[in-house]
A and B are shown apart, each in its own frame.
Chain A
C-alpha cells in the first residue's frame, strides 16, 4: 500500500550525510580552485594554482619551475600502500586458509582473535610500535643486551617502519575477505584433485589460489584505499622526512597555511581512492562495494 513511505525514513540520514559530508566535500573541491590567503583560509579569484603546485613551484622572480618534492610524496604513498596490500596478501592468505580448515566452532573464535587487535584504537596500535622500534625501544635494547649491536640502530623514521605500521594496522582487512571466499570452498574439489595425484603445491596453486582470488582482490582494495591517505602511521613511525599524502594535506591545512593546495591534494587522493574502489566494484560484479565493506565488521 504505502511503498513510498519507508523511503521517507532515510530522510534524516540523507540530510545529515548530505549537509555534513557531501557539502563539505563540495567546499573542498571549491577551495582547491581558490587562491591561498596569507593567514590561512582561501580567497578569490579562482585559479588552478592549487593543482599547479603539485608539480611546479614559484621562484623569487615569479617564474615557475618543475619540482619533484610533492611528486615524491605522492609516489611514496602509492608505493607504500601497494606494498602494504601485497605484504598483507602474502602474510594473510595462509592464515585465512588455516582458519577455513578448522572445525566450524573454532573458526568463529579464530576470526574473533584475528580481528580483536583491530578494535584497539589505531593511535594506540601505532604507538605500540614506537615503543618497540625507537632508539631506546625494546628491540634496540634487546639487540644491545645480546651484544649484536653496540649502539641503537635507527629502526624508526624510515619507509620500512611506515610499511610495517600499515601492514600491522590493515592485516585483518585482508584476512577476512580471503577467509570469506575460502570458507565456501567445496572440499570435494581438493579430494578430487588429490585422487588425481595433484601434489599439495598443485592443489594450492590450482585450486586454493583461484578460489581465494575474489577475497584477495577485495582485501587488496580494503588495504590499499585507506592506506593511501593514512595519517597516523607515517606521522608517528615515518617521521617528518618520510611524509605520505595524508601528512602533506594535514600540514597544508595547519602550519603550511596553504588551504587551496591542501584541498587540491585532497581532491586528488579522494579521486584516486574512489577510482580504485569503483574499478574493484565493477570487476566483482556480483558483490556490491557496500557488501565488501560490510563484510569487514
Chain B
C-alpha cells in the first residue's frame, strides 16, 4: 500500500516559491532601507533617518517634476478613461464584425515597442510643429492610457451582460437614460479600475516622456533618471522610494477594487 498521495503538495515547491518572492522583493527592500540611511554615503549605514526625504521634498526641481507628473497623469487618465469607456461600450455592444479590427487598433500602443512609439511621436510632433509644452505629453500619454484603461472596462461589460440594458429598453427607457441609469452604475467598478491602471502606467512612463518632453515638462521618472545618471546619492534613493510608495498605494487600491465579491 502506497503512502497517501497529495498532488497539491510537491516537496520543495513552497521554499522555491518563497525564494522567487525574495528575488522579486529583496531589491525593493534594499532601496527602501538605503533611503532611510542617515549618512551622506549611500553604502555606509549611519543610522535611521528621514532627513533625505525632507531634502528630496524640499528640492524645487523634484517638486516641479512631481507636479508635472501629476498634471500629465491626471489629465491623461481623465481623457483616456472617458474615451476608453465609450470605445469599450462600442466594441462590446456594437456589431461584432468591427470589434476585432478596432480592438486590434486600440491595442497597438501595447504591442509596438515603447521606444518606437516614443521616437515616432517625437518625429510626428516635430514635423507638424506641435509645441504645446506639457499638452504634448498629455496627448502622448492619453494614447497608451486608452489601451490600458479599456481592458478592465471591456472585461466588466462582458461580465455584466446586456440583459438589464435590454430590460430597460423594453420598458421604453430612452438610450441616454439606459446609459446613465443602467450601464454606467453597473460599469463603474470597471471604469474606476481602468482609471487607476491608466494613472499607474502614466506615472510609470519614462521612455516616452523623456523623448517627447522638453526642459519645461520634466516628469518625476525623467528627473530621477537624470539624478541616477549624475551619480547615486541618498536623495535619489529617497525620491525613488516616494515613487515606489505611490505605485504600491495605487496597486493596493486596484486590488481592493477588484476584490472578489459574492454579488458580482
Q: What is the interface of chain A, defined by CB distance below 8 A to chain B? A: 2-14, 16-18, 20-25, 27-28, 31, 41, 91, 94-95, 97-99, 101-102, 108, 112-114, 116-117, 119-125, 127-132, 134, 136-138, 141, 168, 171, 187, 190-191, 194, 200, 203, 225-226, 228-232, 236, 246, 249-250, 253, 259, 262-263, 266, 269-270, 273-274, 277, 288-290, 293-294, 297
Contacts and interface: CB of A to CB of B under 8 A. Distances in A.
Nearest to B14: A98
B83 A16 contact: yes
Interface in B30-68: 30-31, 34, 42-43
10 contacts: A2-B175, A8-B90, A12-B86, A95-B16, A190-B7, A232-B206, A246-B115, A259-B123, A263-B120, A289-B107
B23 A253 contact: no
Contacts of A13: 83-84, 86-87, 90, 106, 146, 150
Contacts of B122: 253
Interface string B156-200: 000000000000000000010000000000000000000001001
A274 B42 CA distance: 43
A21 B109 contact: yes
Contact of B7 (A134, A194, A266): A194
A128 B30 contact: yes
Given A250-B115, A250-B119, A290 B104 contact: yes
A10 B84 CA distance: 8
Interface residues of B, number: 96
Interface in B91-143: 91, 93-95, 98, 100, 102-124, 126-127, 139-140, 142-143
Contacts of B21: 113-114
A5 B221 CA distance: 41
A9 B118 CA distance: 27
A12 B119 contact: no
B70 interface: no
A124 B194 CA distance: 23
A230 B112 CA distance: 11
Contacts of A123: 204, 206, 221, 224-225, 243
Given A14-B102, A120-B248, A263-B123, A246 B113 contact: yes
B113 A112 contact: no
A112 B255 CA distance: 8
B257 interface: no
Given A228-B113, A297-B151, A250 B211 contact: yes
Nearest to A12: B83
A136 B87 contact: no
